[in-house]
Amino acid sequence: MSAAERELVATACRILAGAGQDDLIWGHASVRDPEGRGVWIKSAEWSLAEITPDRVHLMDPDGAVLAGEGARHSDYPVHTGIMMARPDAGAVVHTHPPFSVALAATGQELRPISHAANFFVPPAVPRFTDTADLILTRDLGRSVAATLGDVPALFLVNHGIVTVGSTLEEATVAAVLLERACHQQLLTASAGGCPPGRRRRSRCASGSTSTAGAPSPRCGLTSCVSCPCEAVGRWPRSRAIRGVPGGVDSTPGMA
């Protein structure tokens, strides 16, 4: 048995737990077996926080445990499906982090409004919607891999996330960053970030068309500045410029 792979998986699991991604016994990290026999993955009876090297086993692409002890996770096709489709993927993480699940459930895309988010977007993080249940079959595993494509992360909508890397260190850091990015976006939205496709408007001193847009036919304002959190959250529609029925709020310091 490979002591290095077992130690690596155990360490990754505890890091994920420490980052708030533990969810009872669900969630797992895997690394490709260097001899091509399958993947090293935690056994199913334990939480991420409880994983030690002796609670990691080797599993083949059909789900048979080849080395080590303990029951295998029933949704192992998440890992084996991606490993078969992505020769570049040396490791896979699948967890149920709360902010990532919440953001994906809203239907919003992850936006590049934080350092963590810029690790992933653009392009958009893909969304797997075939099922919100566990990935229990090889067909679903292949579908997850196809939806993931060649990017490092995937939302399993109403379920969790998947991240991949050439190493388990990379996949683990990606999972941590994705959860941080989703948390930051939800915080931004709760503080009054702009809704998708909207920009804050300000009065144009000259009344002429700016490079950011033309005067609004509704309120006569010109989109002179872009919102720094463009396309994130919901800008409160109840705030209006005084004396302009149905108008939108001006950017602070620009009115």
Give yes or no for residue 61 having a pLDDT over 60. yes
The pLDDT mean for the chain works out to: 81
Give yes or no for residue 89 having a pLDDT over 70. yes
- Give the pLDDT of residue 245: 37
Beta bridge partners of 31: 40, 91
- Give the pLDDT of residue 12: 97
- Give the pLDDT of residue 234: 34
- Give the pLDDT of residue 30: 97
Give the percent of the chain with pLDDT over 90: 72
Give yes or no for residue 79 having a pLDDT over 70. yes
Question: Where is pLDDT greater, at 193 or 14?
Answer: 14
- Locate the domains of the chain by residue range: 3-190, 194-255
- Give the pLDDT of residue 195: 52
- Give the pLDDT of residue 2: 84
> Parallel, antiparallel, or unpaired for β 153-156 and 127-128?
parallel
Question: Where is pLDDT greater, at 95 or 220?
Answer: 95
CA distance 29 to 164: 10
- Give the pLDDT of residue 254: 36
Q: What is the pTM of this model?
A: 0.75
The tokens describing 229, both together, are: 């959190």
CATH number among 3.30.360.10, 1.10.3720.10, 3.60.20.10, 3.40.225.10, domain 3-190: 3.40.225.10
In the block, tokens 């149905």 appear at 246
